[in-house]
Amino acid sequence: MTDIWTWHGGALEAAKRHFGAGAEPWIDLSTGINPKAWPGTAGLSIDWRRLPEPDSLRQLETAAAVHFGVDPQHVCAVPGTETGLRLAGCLIGGPARHVAPSYRTHGEMIAGSRAIEWIATGVSSETLILANPNNPDGRWLDREQMRALLEARAHHGWLLVDEAFADSDPAISVASLVSETRRLLVFRSFGKFFGLAGVRLGFVIGPSHVLAPLREQLGAWPLSTAAIAIGTAAYRDRPWIAATRERLDHEAARLDAVLVRCGHQPIGRCPLFRLIETDEAPQLFDRLARAAILTRPFEPDRRWLRIGLPPDQAALDRLERVMAHG
């Protein structure tokens, strides 16, 4: 097991080089990305000869705002949530804590940020950075718990919430609590729920006095024409969004059943992935990879293995066969 697979999911080409092409096609379960992407990209007409129009960017942010349940004035589109997190961290600054384990970026957003355990999130009024739902363990705090964290920062510090996986259950989102007076920033990802990570599209939701300098740093054309067109159309596709939320719940339940039959207790409530904890995690990662199934190991906890949703029943059956019989 090498650092490339513990650093981030999706290193499929490196896995092919290391483990071989495989007798069957590779299945990438190393990410928490919807394996059945929004299907409307092929039907869009994108003019690659022109720079994006400001009106088109505003239309995207308005469509996203409706999806998030917020006023469009509180929404700023960014070229990927990673960019939004880092820029916002520089703007907020000051003493901070970040929940760990979670995204590595959270610990790099604000210089000197200290890692704390999930259970200790309400200890201080310092700026707090966390993901809800969390990655990789899929835990989440309900709205009342999140509201308490926000109220603790009414006068000092900020609550910075990465909701990259919140689209599957909008009830847990705190985006609607964003206002001009609350010390709250919410970050949303397009690529995970819509299955289009390559679009590189994300959003920062917050008060205008934070978004204004953020927009200045992004410059005149922060997004490509394609990202704007795809994002706008996808966020307006309400039937697909509703059907996908229901489908993901069913597919996560089927994955849970497979993991239980294979002797593992699935951890987490995020329907795009499950975590298992076992002393055999390194060996299981290796066995699956040699059968052309890529999962996500972790450092420093080598007992963890995260498994994303298989794209179809055949892939789910194959996962069960390799996990159960080697």
Nearest alpha carbon to residue 184 among 166, 159, 154: 159
Question: Domain check: are 182 and 59 in the same one?
Answer: yes
pTM: 0.95
Q: What is the CATH number of the domain that holds 118?
A: 3.40.640.10
pLDDT at 178 exceeding the cut of 60: yes
- Please give the pLDDT value at position 1: 45
Question: Domain check: are 172 and 105 in the same one?
Answer: yes
CA distances from 270 to 21, 53, 141, 151 (A): 31, 36, 12, 26
Quick check: is 307 in a domain? Answer: yes
Higher-confidence residue of 124 and 323: namely 323
Give yes or no for a contact between 90 and 218, defined as CB atoms under 8 angstroms apart: no
One DSSP character per residue, 38-70 reads -TTGGG----TTSPPPHHHHHHHHHHHHHHHTS
Q: Which domain holds residue 114?
A: 53-236
Domain final position from 194, 219, 236: 236
Question: Domain check: are 265 and 182 in the same one?
Answer: no
pLDDT at 131 exceeding the cut of 70: yes
Rg (CA), the chain: 20
Domain final position from 192, 220, 236: 236
CA distances from 320 to 40, 163, 182, 261, 316 (A): 32, 30, 47, 8, 6
Q: What is the CATH number of the domain that holds 251?
A: 3.90.1150.10
Quick check: is 41 in a domain? Answer: no
**Span 50-78, pLDDT tens digits:** 999 999 999 999 999 999 999 999 999 99
- Please give the pLDDT value at position 288: 96
Domain final position from 175, 202, 236: 236
Question: Domain check: are 264 and 166 in the same one?
Answer: no
**Span 114-125, pLDDT tens digits:** 999 876 666 578
Return phi, psi of residue 95, to 5°. Answer: -60, 140
Quick check: is 43 in a domain? Answer: no
- Please give the pLDDT value at position 326: 62
Work out the mean pLDDT of the chain and round it to a whole number: 94
Mean pLDDT confidence for 265-288:
96
Q: SS3 for 28?
A: strand
Question: Domain check: are 89 and 151 in the same one?
Answer: yes
**Span 195-209, pLDDT tens digits:** 999 999 999 999 999
Q: Which of 123-137, 253-267, 270-284 bottoms out in mean pLDDT, i.e. has the lowest? A: 123-137
